[in-house]
Amino acid sequence: MKLNELRNRPGATHRAKLLGRGIGSGLGKTSGRGVKGQKARTGVSIKGFEGGQMPLYRRIPKRGFAAIHPLKLAEVNLGRLQDAVDGGRLKAGAKVDIEAMINAGVVRRKLDGVRVLGDGELKVKLDLVVDGISGPARAAVEKLGGSISIVPRPAPQPGPKERKKKAA
C-alpha cells in the first residue's frame, strides 16, 4: 500500500448538503430550518430553556461535589497479594511497597499510589507501605502480625491566586 492509495472506508464520509439554492432543490428558502425565529438563526443555545418555567437543573436540590483533581489510586486486593506470594514474586514477611508490587506484576503502573482492599484471603505476614487501606484489609494484615505504613501525601501547592494574595 502506498500513501497515494489511501482512501476512507466506504460510508465514512458524507458530502455536505448544498443549502439555499432555490425551491426546486428541496432545501432552498429556509434551508431545512423551518420558518423564521430564534432557531432559524446561527449561534442559538436554548437547550435548557423550558419556556420561562424554572428549568429542571435548577429545580432539583444539589448535593455533594466532585473533586477537581481526584487521586487515581491503583486498587489491590489481598487475594492478589497472596497469589504473588504463592507464585514466588513477593516474599512473605518482606516490605511491600509500590515498586515491589510493580516488579511482582500485582500493579501495572504507579498512578497516584496504591490502596489495598480486603477481597480475598491473606495467609502470610506482610509489611505494607501503601497510600490507603480499607478497614477489613487492615484487620486481616494486623491479625497475621504484619505492619501497615501509610505514605504521607505532599501538601497541595497554592495556585496563582493564593500566591498573589500571600505576596500582598
**Tens digits of per-residue pLDDT, 38-71?**
888 888 777 778 888 998 989 999 999 988 888 8
Return the domain boundaries, the chain.
74-150
pLDDT band at residue 3 using 50, 70 and 90 as cut-offs: very high
Q: CA-CA distance, 135 to 18, in Å (whole number)?
A: 64
Q: What pLDDT is stored for residue 49 in this prediction?
A: 84
Q: CA-CA distance, 91 to 81, in Å (whole number)?
A: 10
- How would CATH label the architecture of 74-150? Ribosomal Protein L15; Chain: K; domain 2 (3.100)
Higher pLDDT, 33 or 43: 33
Q: CA-CA distance, 115 to 150, in Å (whole number)?
A: 10
Q: What is the average pLDDT across 13-20?
A: 92
Q: CA-CA distance, 2 to 4, in Å (whole number)?
A: 5
pLDDT band at residue 128 using 50, 70 and 90 as cut-offs: very high
51-66 exposure pattern, b = at least 16 Cβ within 10 A, e = fewer:
eeeeeeeeeeeeeeee
Q: CA-CA distance, 133 to 141, in Å (whole number)?
A: 10
**Tens digits of per-residue pLDDT, 70-127?**
889 999 999 999 999 999 999 998 899 999 999 999 999 989 999 999 999 999 999 9
Q: Is the pTM of this model over 0.85?
A: no
